[in-house]
Structure 1
Amino acid sequence: MADFALPETRYALSGDINIAYQMTGLGPLDIVIVPGAISHVEFHHELPGLTAFLHHLSRFARVVTFDKRGQGLSDRVSGVPSLEERMDDVRAIMDAVGSQRAVLLGFSEGCPMSVLFAATYPERVSHLVLVGGFVRAGRSVSDEAFEAFVAATVKAWGTGLSMKRVIGTHDGNEREIALLGKLERLSCSPGAFKTLMLMNRRIDVTSVLPSVRVPALVLHSRADAVVPIAEGRKLAAAIPGAKYIEYGNLPHGACFAGACEGLIGDIEEFITGHRDASFPETDRVLATVLFTDIVDSTRMAVEVGDQRWHELLDRHDRLAKQTVEKHRGTFVKSTGDGILATFDGPGRAVRCALAFGAAAQQMGLPLRAGLHTGEIEVRGQDVGGIAVHAAARVMAQCGANEVLVSRVVTDLVAGAGLKFTERGTFDLKGIPGHWELFAAQ
């Protein structure tokens, strides 16, 4: 996979409210993604699926994601924004990025506002795509049942329960649930979410749907655990000339699904008239990535000579493979004077790095190691993706015999008995944002 740097977060001014957005790709078309009720433009990249989803869309379009006012990195506001205010925010973002006309791609709670925007400003919308949408929130249940659902959701806010339903996770491991819970907490407070849901219950765009005159595509899945399939069918039937496509196994948050190539292809074909059939056959998973290398390896090679140095490297590689295997990791490859490995548990990854470093030090080889947890792309025997680049950049900040980890790793191993010392905030080459790094002990 080619390098796909995480986009920079910027702000557009809507009235006196700052709206956080990111922009990806340089395609001839503009796609503005209108998020659901849970969003955080930066932390979304820590979850499996979304970065790849944006990467695929950016092959043929310039893609804009944003946090609605009151959510994520956008300004907090009192009360709940109206649909009219949310439309103002979309218009402000389009103006900020110089987009005269764009595709509106609405997800879930973002669908009603997308419909209203398309009907009100058809000159600024080329296509309307609605995924997991509805005409009115909770229309299929009684007021009492809906209020009980909201109360239960608010009570469990921050545990990952809501996002589990969104991405279709039935069980989930400890690190995944921790990420989902953190996204909920970063998106908005429990009280703000409750107010938003109760307000959404009162929104009904039934009377607006016949006024939509832009080409519309409605996508819904029978496996959607948040919005029943019947709601998607109603939505499509009420929009004149809308194209409707139904899926069998995608979750409500289809953009987080690892197997949404078909949905992406349907969107591309609807917008451009053709679809890219060359998606690489890859798997994307959440993993902790470990990079190591030998400090001052060139100097050491010169000092000990070629034959002795090759013997040391062979011992180094055998030790690395044994240590990674012992900690249930995957040894990806040797990098010459270091290794790349992945783990499905951040705690085991940190312990492996510490054990490998201590053993190598006894051999007279000072190591440095960097770890980061994020989404990786598995291509045959190799891996790629932002998390791999991030782990390499974290390692670059290390001193001899040191193991550095990102904030994500420390957050996920809380309670695992590992100790860390703050090393400060760093700018990692080629990766946006400021990164808090910690030394593992």
Structure 2
Amino acid sequence: MVDSGDMDPVPEIRFARATGSTIAYMVYGDGPVTICAVPPMAQNIELAWDSPIIRRMFERYATFSRQVVFDKRGTGMSDRSLDIPGLDERVDELRAVMDDAGVEHAYLHGMSEGGPMAIMFAATYPERVAGLILEGTGASLVTDADRDTITAADYRPSDLRRRFVSGWGTPDSITVAHFAPSLAGDGEFADWWPRYERQAATRDALGPLFDLNIEMDARGVLPHVTCPVLILHREGDSVVPVERARETHRLLAEAGADVRLVELPGDDHFSFAGDVEAPAVEIERFTTGTVRDRPAIAPHRVEIRTLGRFEVLVDGAPVPTSEWGSRRARTLLKRLVAAQGWPVTRDELIELLWPDEISDRLNARLSVQLSAVRRVLHGAVIADRSSVRLDLDAVDVDVARWTALTDDVAIVDGYPGDFLPDDVYEDWSVGTRDDTRSRFVASARRIASEAQRVGDHDRAESLLRRILATDAYDEPAHRALIVTLHAAGRLGEARTAHDAFAAAMDDLAVPVADYDDIIAAA
């Protein structure tokens, strides 16, 4: 089916790196706007050009735009050696492709299963999205009732799903009949399609891809979609019914979004099937009619402060509480900071955020919270199918910077207080808090000892009182403070310090030496 005559050659394949995997993508067209196409379940961007039918759609888009298209991980020419990633991981795939292609901001065109991913990206990185196009898709591809049925323990896959999987990549494939019924009578296309399927995804990948499609639910982030939105949907689409588009339109409108729904005639689900011109006209009008000059995106300076208090600053300004969307997003970030760059399992995060809930939808709800954290930090979260970690190279975390210090004075001066003091009763915060506190105390004790030796009683006193503010039961610090005040001739204050020492030790039922004995032993 390759026509080597009039049509241009297939665009060059490039590869981006995302979460330790390789993402294949291509760039074509030289129109005034850039559109990043977020693909459906499985495709192969190189082989797709072999079909004049699919190429017709590509070339129509290229008349008014620069197109960036890619194969999602686990499909096409992208990495197939790893597990099929979750929704929030898919967001990082798109970001990696845009970064590698040098695209700062673009329109997103989410098709079919690519719709929730495009929505999640637009909510997470609003400054990089000029507008959102949703075609044949919705924020959730199934209803809540259908999701409950499909995820029930006694659910058995439908005959249609079994036939879809068993026929994948063979002459028995039923994909064209259901996803592109207008092409069912095209014998040449039908003969070519099974080869395309074999190059788009393995049969073993279909089950996880189906499960991901059921799990995906981006409705929770729709209030954070701030760009204009165009929704296109064919009225007779049986794969993703038009009701999913209507629901998404309603939720966006209720959130105050600039959104428009266009229902088109036809029964095809695949964008390249049926009437391509009608949606292309809508997309061209939406993108070229709303293009505006936008400044280049400057890298944001993100700081996370956890010693003495919790605060996130972007370009020097504190992020207000209202920007987080929920307390859970703040808790999620705190937990990732406490892990100090090490991965935290998704199961642990779900248990932390929803300790009393059991639901098959918690993974989707975790994706919403991860989107909120990414949105606040402008990225900086690395996720895979099983775990999540903070990218310490992308943000300035005070505890990480402080831990790298080696000079005692710098360690003491850079310690404003305990790690996440408002989360003192959280088990996950204890280890980091104890480690940082012990490190501060050790450095402060060494400096105070040297100050005592040279007679700098004020310096020694200040440091010892800071140690006791951190740990009121630090016996060596109590003794040293009493000795320091006595040596400075402040005998009344020294005896008051001894009384405080005795009161603290009384809480522990520990006897305290007499004042004179402590001075004599110094």
TM range (shorter): 0.5 to 0.7
Q: What secondary structure, in the 3-state scheme, does the structure 1 residue paired with 2:168 have? A: coil
Higher strand share: 1
Question: In the aligned structure 2, how far is the partner of 1:241 from the partner of 1:34?
Answer: 21
- Alpha-carbon distance between aligned partners in 2 of 1:188 and 1:125, rounded to the nearest angstrom: 29
How far off is 1:31 after superposition?
0.6
- Partner residue, 2:88: 84
Alpha-carbon distance in 2 for matches of 1:4, 1:173: 24
32-41 or 242-251, larger mean C-alpha shift: 242-251
In 1: Cα distance, 2:7 partner to 2:183 partner: 32
For 1:124-143, list aligned pairs within 5 A. Answer: 124-139=128-143, 141=146, 142-143=149-150
Q: Give the C-alpha shift of residue 255 in structure 1.
A: 2.5
Partner SS for 1:219: strand
- Greater percentage in helix: 2
* In the alignment, structure 1 residue 217 sits paired with structure 2 residue 217: no
- SS of 2:220's equivalent in the other structure is coil
Shift of 1:250: 5.3
Deviates more, 1:24-33 or 1:103-112: 24-33
CA deviation profile, 1:282-311 (whole Å, cap 9, x unmatched): xxxxxxxxxxxxxxxxxxxxxxxxxxxxxx
1:359 aligned partner? none
Shift in alpha-carbon separation, 1:227–1:182, aligned structure 2, 3 A: same
Q: 1:4 deviation in Å?
A: 3.2
Superposition deviation, residue 87 in structure 1? 1.1
Q: Distance in 2 between matches of 1:274 and 1:216?
A: 11
Q: Which one of 140, 148, 166 corresponds to residue 155 of structure 1?
A: 166
Name which of structure 1's ranges 140-149 and 200-209 shifts more when overlaid on structure 2.
Answer: 140-149
Q: CA deviation at 1:111?
A: 0.3
- Give the greater-gyration-radius structure (CA): 2
Q: Is residue 54 of structure 2 the alignment partner of residue 38 of structure 1?
A: no
Taking the TM superposition and a 5 Å limit, the aligned residue runs for 1:411-422 are: none
Alignment correspondent of 2:103: 99
Match in the other structure for 1:196 = 209
Aligned equivalent of 1:267, options 263, 277, 283: 283
Cα distance change on mapping 1:221 and 1:33 into 2, 3 Å? same
Unaligned runs of 5+ in 2: 292-522
Cα distance, 1:176 vs. partner? 2.1
Aligned to 2:24: 20
What are the within-5 Å matches in structure 2 for residues 316-335 of structure 1? Answer: none
SS in 1 for 2:263: strand
AA paired with 2:241? P
Answer whether contact 2:47 2:196 (CA < 8 A) is retained: yes
User: 1:15 and 1:157, CA in 2 relative to 1: closer, same or farther beyond 3 A?
Assistant: same
**Aligned equivalents of 2:180 and 2:51: distance in 1?**
10
Q: Which residue of 2 aligns with 1:255?
A: 272
Letter in structure 2 aligned against 1:221: R
SS at match of 1:22: strand
In the other structure, the counterpart of 1:50 is 54
Superposition RMSD in Å: 2.3
Query: Mapping of 1:166-245 within 5 angstroms?
Result: 166-169=179-182, 171-239=184-252, 240-245=257-262
**Structure-1 separation of matches of 2:49 and 2:95:** 24
Q: Is the 8 A contact 1:163 1:184 kept in 2?
A: no
Tell me what 1:360 maps to: none
Q: Evaluate the alpha carbon distance shift between residue 131 and residue 145 of structure 1 in structure 2; reply closer, same or farther with a 3 A threshold.
A: farther
Alignment length (residue pairs) = 274
Aligned CA distance change for structure 1 residues 50 and 174 (closer, same or farther; 3 Å): closer
Q: Which amino acid aligns with 2:39?
A: P
- For 2:158 and 2:105, locate their aligned partners in 1 and report how far apart those are by CA, in whole Å: 38
CA offset at residue 274 of structure 1? 8.2
% identical aligned pairs? 32
Partner deviation per Cα, 1:46-103 (whole Å, 9 max, x = no partner) = 2343212221222221101110011001111332211222111111111111110011
Distance, in Å, in 2 between the alignment partners of 1:5 and 1:186 is 19
Taking structure 1 as reference, are residues 238 and 148 closer, same or farther at Cα in structure 2, changes over 3 Å only?
A: farther
Relative to 1, partners in 2 of residues 1:135 and 1:149: Cα closer, same or farther, differing over 3 Å?
A: farther
Contact 2:123 2:221 in 1 (8 A): yes
Contact 1:158/1:182 (<8 A) preserved: yes
TM-score (norm 1): 0.58
Partner of 1:349: none
